[in-house]
Amino acid sequence: MRIKPSSAPKTPKANRLLAALPEANYLRLLPLLEPVILPLGMAVYESNAKQGYVYFPTSSIVSMLYVLENGASAEIAVTGREGLVGIALFMGGETTPSRAVVQSAGHGYRLKAAVLKAEFERGGELQHLLLRFTQALITQMTQTAVCNRHHAVHQQLCRWLLLSLDRLAGNELVMTQELIANMLGVRREGVTEAAGNLQAQGLIHYSRGRITVLDRPQLETRVCECYAVVKREYDRLLPANLFGLTA
């Protein structure tokens, strides 16, 4: 897998886990963090393949997908600037049956697996941060499974839009309805109808693969309980003050 090095002057502290590290830990990792560009659709890692790096997105979003034998897929979680991609590396599993694909193009940093493992085994704040993030990610995965089983497509779409917005600086996502359908594991026609209804109500604008959220508060009134469950857990385990942010 070839990843284009990033020439953009992005700081690693745009990733909130890296920003939350004590200065000594951060400075030890800084020379080893490699800036990369993460283009839309790129596979960060494949199912059951050995992972050589852990990725810290700064302005991109990566989806964890499970792909069935017939090629059908469904998203089980998303990660952006609040976290990292590659928890199997420090959880001891080395590989995972899911694959990770860039959902929203942007930048990030990667760190060699051996470096991350050594830092994790030191214990201390890095280990605590990664474990708290992992617990939050597991909550997102379990809630996604519940949502996909029990809630309507328009509710799932609202949840997906809000989770994505939480991980972006702006209010626009570059994503076709076909890709959204693949992420949610539903028929494209269902996404087309749900997106059309949200657009007719003035909540979003969709054109040529770009979704712009126009009214987030109203979007939050349309979403199921799953979004709030996930957000509360992230806020509890990784509160804003941990990253030097205001709540």
pLDDT digit string, tens, across residues 14-61: 999 999 999 999 999 999 999 999 998 899 988 888 888 999 999 999
Task: Say how many C-beta atoms besides its own lie within 10 A of residue 176's C-beta.
Answer: 16
The mean pLDDT value for 2-21 works out to 71
Give the long-range contacts of residues 63-67, CB within 8 A, separation 24 or more.
63/100, 63/101, 63/102, 63/103, 63/183, 64/98, 64/99, 64/100, 64/141, 65/98, 65/99, 65/100, 65/101, 65/182, 65/183, 66/97, 66/98, 66/99, 67/99
pLDDT digit string, tens, across residues 114-124: 999 999 998 88
pLDDT digit string, tens, across residues 98-117: 889 998 889 999 999 999 99
What structural domains and CATH numbers belong to the chain?
Answer: 12-124 (2.60.120.10), 149-230 (1.10.10.10)
Q: Within 13 A of 146's CA, how many CA atoms are on the CB side?
A: 13
Say what the pLDDT of residue 2 is. Answer: 38
Model confidence at 247: pLDDT above 70: no
Say what the pLDDT of residue 242 is. Answer: 64
pLDDT digit string, tens, across residues 127-156: 999 999 999 999 999 988 888 788 888 888
Say what the pLDDT of residue 194 is. Answer: 83
pLDDT digit string, tens, across residues 81-91: 999 999 988 88
How large is the greatest C-alpha to C-alpha distance in the chain, in angstroms? 54
Say what the pLDDT of residue 69 is. Answer: 75
Say what the pLDDT of residue 37 is. Answer: 95
Q: Which band of pLDDT confidence, cut at 50, 70 and 90, is reported for residue 9?
A: very low
Q: Within 13 A of 129's CA, how many CA atoms are on the CB side?
A: 23
pLDDT digit string, tens, across residues 153-211: 888 888 888 998 888 888 887 776 677 766 666 677 777 888 888 889 999 898 877 88
